[in-house]
Structure 1
Amino acid sequence: MSHSHQQLGYHSQASASAALDPSDTDSMAGYEREGEGETHRPSLTLSRWLLHKRLLSDYATLAVAGAITLVTNFAFKPFERPIDAAVLADVDLRHPLKQNIVPTWALGLTSFAAPLLINAVAQAAIAQSVSAATVFKRTFRFALSLSLTLLLTVITTNMIKKSVGRFRPDFLDRCKWSIVTMACTGDPAVVREGRVSFPSGHSSFAFAGSTLLALWTARMLNLYSRPNGFQGALFVRRRTAQRVSLESGQSENRNHRGDGGAFEDSFSKQPRGLSRAGRFYVLLLSFVPMWAAAYIAITRLQQFVHHPTDVISGALLGACIALVVYSTQFW
């Protein structure tokens, strides 16, 4: 066997391994795309991975975003619109003050804890050919992206809320207007909370988390695959082994075609016009978290704490922020 053939066989094997590298089809393309620790740096332990300088930068960014969230939530007072005769006569502001149908803690569970749990379970269920450390890393990086999505949503929502100062539909019940003092006599904190109707924070927060989860679910279940292109992270586990001939320097791979492996063959063998058939269930599963967010938004109308335009704008705001984060971290 010649020395040149040995070198050629080595490079072919290395190229094949790189092509099958799970990091190339990792669901978090924004991190370490050029080399996952477990593949290119086998000595990199999980603790060292968690303290990688690129992740440290993300930790710092999240910390800054968290600080800005606290500032926008507690340091700034809402813009105080004057209470004149038109406001006092507005029937849309005379609804009774009610208790939250979906409390804040339930909103946190629905928008953060539930997507994170679903992601972790799905990663563990589909990643049969990768290590537990890889599953943890992908879930952890999803958690970072989800945290950034929710923090950006809260910051943007608070800034708009405090700047606009729109009255809630139950403002007059909160205010308890006195014709003697010509001022509100209700609890100042409750009255102040009645001035931040636009946009709906519950709606934006719920749709931010659910939209990110829905997009991720659609990607993991191969919705956006093409017959000759990327097949989704779900099918990474179906990679086939490469057999390299050192004598000829040729690599043989009977099943692997792109990132989809044998599944890509099945797509290419479909009759014309049916390459995307049979995947309606993916759309159905992807819409489940959106339904949960829609219910949360509707409850804000049921208890007369927001106007319809507040809920619609909040939902669009959260969904748009989730789409931006998704496009940079998962696309």
Structure 2
Amino acid sequence: MAGLVKQLRNSSHLRWVAPALLVDWIVVIVVNLLAQWVELQYPYKRDPAHYLNDPSLQWPVTEEHVPAGPNSALDNYTFWLPVVVILVVGGIFKRSLHDVHHGFLVFMSSRTLMRVVVECLKNRVRKHSLLRLACTRRLILFPLQVGRLRPDFFSRCQWDAVAHACRGPLELVKDGRRSFPSGHSSTSWQAMLFLSLYLAGKNGAFAFAAPFPRSGFLQSRLLRFGLVITPLFLGTWICVTRLEDHRHHPTDVVTGSLIGALSALVMYATYYPSPFIFTAPPGGHCEDELSVMDKPRRVYGAKEADERDAWGYAEEGRVRLVEDAAEEEEEERQIRA
């Protein structure tokens, strides 16, 4: 981490910094607060009396395989694991403050996007809300799913036919009305697909046209590919547990997974080059570890023309970029020394 501290003292390593990045973080914070507020709203209230004979809602309440909440297993898998990977890969192996920053920005922005979409679908916002046009059941893609009851709803509800009301704990019943879409599934696929893309952008697992100058043990294509797809297996397992625990219907899990995956994909593509396309770095030099694959885009502040290549750089500015690359390599050698 000492290398990162030295980069902070050296302005040549901070060319990527732009005021617009501060605005990006402000947007992430504001939208996250908005999602938090939507989560506190009471979900659309369906009358359980219409579903008394529905066998899909009669499952018992069971202990969760992957509990949610502060310091929970879900947090460990979908928040702390990506944070540690970004710090280790970007901070220790790559020693790039640029990569660490953009890694966190992509992760948090995709997580925020996923969260606000899921919460708007889970909770129908009331009529007096400013979000009525965005979150009411009239305009969403799945109008019949808002306020969908969980498979274990009647075990939570403890339905009283005489009073025509639920006798179960209020918070437990409220959560039982938030089946669609699956928050666990969306969170896990957002985090795990981000990790997969982030790692693929480092080791070139998906860049099939990328050359490997050497043939050592670590150059194995299958080894790199296995490392990249491992997070996807973890995300899939979390989704399966939601069905085993009777917390969600299959369509809840599929929809939640799609929301999380699309959020990660869109935000990653905003700040990083495609991990599927091999593009020679400025100067055409390719390192043994495919360092060409690991540089985030210079999204803001580029002085070149608007037309840029896959790196986010203009062709006419490549001469300066080659000089910058050589200068940065020399500085990195001095830092490591």
TM-score > 0.5 by shorter chain:
yes
> Is contact 1:116–1:139 with CA below 8 Å preserved after alignment?
no
> Is contact 2:114–2:259 with CA below 8 Å preserved after alignment?
yes
Which runs of 5 or more structure 2 residues have no equivalent in the other structure? 1-6, 125-145, 274-337
Structure 1 residue 195: deviation in Å?
0.7
Task: Note the 1:14-93 alignment, pairs <5 A.
Answer: 42-43=10-11, 52-74=18-40, 76-85=41-50, 87-93=51-57
Q: Aligned residue for 2:313? A: none
Q: Aligned residue for 2:335? A: none
Letter paired with 1:298: V
Q: 1:307 aligns with which of 249, 257, 263?
A: 249
Q: Aligned residue for 2:149? A: 167
> Is contact 1:93–1:171 with CA below 8 Å preserved after alignment?
yes
> Helix, strand or coil: the match of 1:79?
coil
Structure 1 residue 306: deviation in Å?
0.6
Q: 2:89 aligns with which of 122, 142, 145?
A: 122
Question: Which whole-Å CA distance do the structure 2 matches of 1:102 and 1:266 have between them?
Answer: 42
Which runs of 5 or more structure 1 residues have no equivalent in the other structure? 1-37, 232-259, 268-276
> Is contact 2:102–2:271 with CA below 8 Å preserved after alignment?
no
Question: Which whole-Å CA distance do the structure 2 matches of 1:158 and 1:90 have between them?
Answer: 26
Deviates more, 1:138-147 or 1:218-227: 218-227
Q: Aligned residue for 2:264? A: 322
Structure 1 residue 43: deviation in Å?
3.8
Letter paired with 1:80: K
Question: Which whole-Å CA distance do the structure 2 matches of 1:55 and 1:188 have between them?
Answer: 42
Structure 1 residue 54: deviation in Å?
2.4
Structure 1 residue 140: deviation in Å?
2.4
Larger Rg: 1
Q: Aligned residue for 1:246? A: none
Confirm or deny that 1:144 pairs with 2:105. yes
Q: 1:98 aligns with which of 45, 52, 62?
A: 62
- Paired-residue identity, %: 32
Deviates more, 1:313-322 or 1:99-108: 99-108
Structure 1 residue 71: deviation in Å?
1.2
**RCO (CA 8 Å, sep 6+): is it higher in 1 or 2?**
1
Q: Aligned residue for 2:77? A: 110
Question: Which whole-Å CA distance do the structure 2 matches of 1:266 and 1:100 have between them?
Answer: 47
The alpha-carbon distance between structure 1 residues 304 and 71, as it changes in their structure 2 partners (threshold 3 A), is same
Question: Which whole-Å CA distance do the structure 2 matches of 1:212 and 1:45 have between them?
Answer: 25
Question: Which whole-Å CA distance do the structure 1 matches of 2:202 and 2:232 have between them?
Answer: 17
Structure 1 residue 146: deviation in Å?
0.4
Q: Aligned residue for 1:217? A: 199
Letter paired with 2:110: T
> Is contact 2:205–2:228 with CA below 8 Å preserved after alignment?
no
Letter paired with 1:84: A
Question: Which whole-Å CA distance do the structure 2 matches of 1:54 and 1:297 have between them?
Answer: 36
> Helix, strand or coil: the match of 1:84?
helix
Q: 1:193 aligns with which of 175, 178, 187?
A: 175
Q: TM-score, normalised by structure 2?
A: 0.65
Q: Aligned residue for 2:235? A: 293
Question: Which whole-Å CA distance do the structure 1 matches of 2:101 and 2:43 have between them?
Answer: 36
> Is contact 2:38–2:120 with CA below 8 Å preserved after alignment?
yes
Question: Which whole-Å CA distance do the structure 1 matches of 2:147 and 2:175 have between them?
Answer: 10
Question: Which whole-Å CA distance do the structure 1 matches of 2:92 and 2:24 have between them?
Answer: 27
Q: Any idea what the Cα deviations from partners look like across 1:119-154, whole Å, max 9, x if unmatched?
A: 221234543xxxx4xx23311221121011111111
Question: Which whole-Å CA distance do the structure 2 matches of 1:319 and 1:45 have between them?
Answer: 32
User: What do you get for the CA RMSD once the two structures are aligned?
Assistant: 2.7
Structure 1 residue 168: deviation in Å?
0.2
Q: Any idea what the Cα deviations from partners look like across 1:94-141, whole Å, max 9, x if unmatched?
A: 1111232212222122112101211221234543xxxx4xx2331122
> Is contact 1:112–1:146 with CA below 8 Å preserved after alignment?
no
Letter paired with 1:317: I
Question: Which whole-Å CA distance do the structure 2 matches of 1:290 and 1:222 have between them?
Answer: 17
Letter paired with 1:190: L
